[in-house]
Structure 1
Amino acid sequence: MGIKSKNVCDDQVFESIFKSYAKDIKRYIFSKTRDAQIAEDIVQDAFVKIWEDCEKVLFDTVKNYLYTIANNLFLNIVKHNKVVHAHQQINGKTSTNESPEFLVLEEEFLIKLEKAIKDLPEIQREVFLLNRIEKKKYKDIAEELGLSVKAVEKRMHGALLVLREKIGNI
């Protein structure tokens, strides 16, 4: 088989592996996560795994092994997040910290608000929805509807007056 390759369990060899590959693996994982802390954690965990299995790891394959471990750790996080998300979807609003009374009042308020918006004159409702729901600026609404900014302001003001009268301060 020839000359024995470097021993990954040797402190100096392991340190040289870390210096050679840690930054590249972190960049690779960061490109997937877009979270520097998660990328750093995965890199640390990958190197811990290499150290724990250093007797089994060949120096010539350590780079590929590190990338495989890091990628698997990333995939485990993705899988975990999917499970958490699915659990949250199943539980829906039952996992809220709000009291049942608050939830009933909130639902009643939302129904009242929807009705009040529905009852607005068309010209006011359109401006209100474009501004408050679609988050458009008065200038953009004016351009879209072919109005002046003052006309948009006047319609929005009228809509807010009507809504405040029907449901209180919003």
Structure 2
Amino acid sequence: MKDPDSVCNEAVFNQVYNDISQSVWRFAYYKCGDEAQADDLVQDAFIKLWSNCAKVAVAKAKSFLFTVTNNAFLNQIAHKKVVLKHAQLTPSKVDNESPEFVLEEKQYHKKLQDAISNLSEAQRTAFLLNRIDGMKYAEIAEHLNISVKAVEKRMSQALKQLRSEFKNI
């Protein structure tokens, strides 16, 4: 059976709400300056009071509500700071490039892939090891078990073929 003077008693809870809610709301509104946010803070505080009604004496309800409201407001401010800091660290995803530029870039990329795939296997291997993997000619020669001169010849042929395919661009 519930204690008639406990906050868990619905009539007592309603009386606490009627007596204190306006002053808690004003406190929240003065803190945040936003009526909707103040409404949310007060509602959350009273929900917490109801959830913890067995632990909170009627005499301490006002203090409990103001403390919960203040802490919730401070948590919201801290969360906004984290979000703002994250937004400043994350680069903007806005693309200022025109759709024509994006299309041309895709077409150029496709043409480049096709041109590289048209190279002989030996030329393509040497070219990609040098340009993509950043290997020097001596490293490529060692990796492929060929001479440095062979690597130079493959690179020369690959670059000559790529230049001829891209001479009009």
TM-score (norm 1): 0.54
- Residue 13 of structure 1 deviates from its aligned partner by 0.2
Please tell me the root mean square deviation across aligned C-alpha atoms, in Å.
1.9
In structure 2, list runs of 5 or more residues that go unmatched: 102-169
In structure 1, list runs of 5 or more residues that go unmatched: 106-170
- Residue 91 of structure 1 deviates from its aligned partner by 1.1
- Residue 101 of structure 1 deviates from its aligned partner by 0.9
Greater C-alpha Rg: 2
- Mapped contact 1:46–1:69 kept (Cα < 8 A): yes
Q: Distance in 2 between matches of 1:58 and 1:30?
A: 26
Count of residues in Structure 1 that have an aligned counterpart in Structure 2: 97
Listed as ranges, the matches of 1:47-126 within 5 Å are 47-94=46-93, 96=94, 99-101=95-97
- Residue 93 of structure 1 deviates from its aligned partner by 2.1
Q: Which residue of 2 aligns with 1:20?
A: 19
Per-residue CA shift, 1:52-107, capped at 9, x if unaligned? 0101111111100110000001011001100111011111423x4xx3515xx9xx
AA of the residue aligned to 2:38: A
- Mapped contact 1:33–1:39 kept (Cα < 8 A): yes
Identical aligned pairs, as a percentage?
35
- Mapped contact 1:5–1:59 kept (Cα < 8 A): no
Deviating 4+ runs (over 2 angstroms): none
TM-score (norm 2): 0.54
Bigger fraction of residues in helix: 1
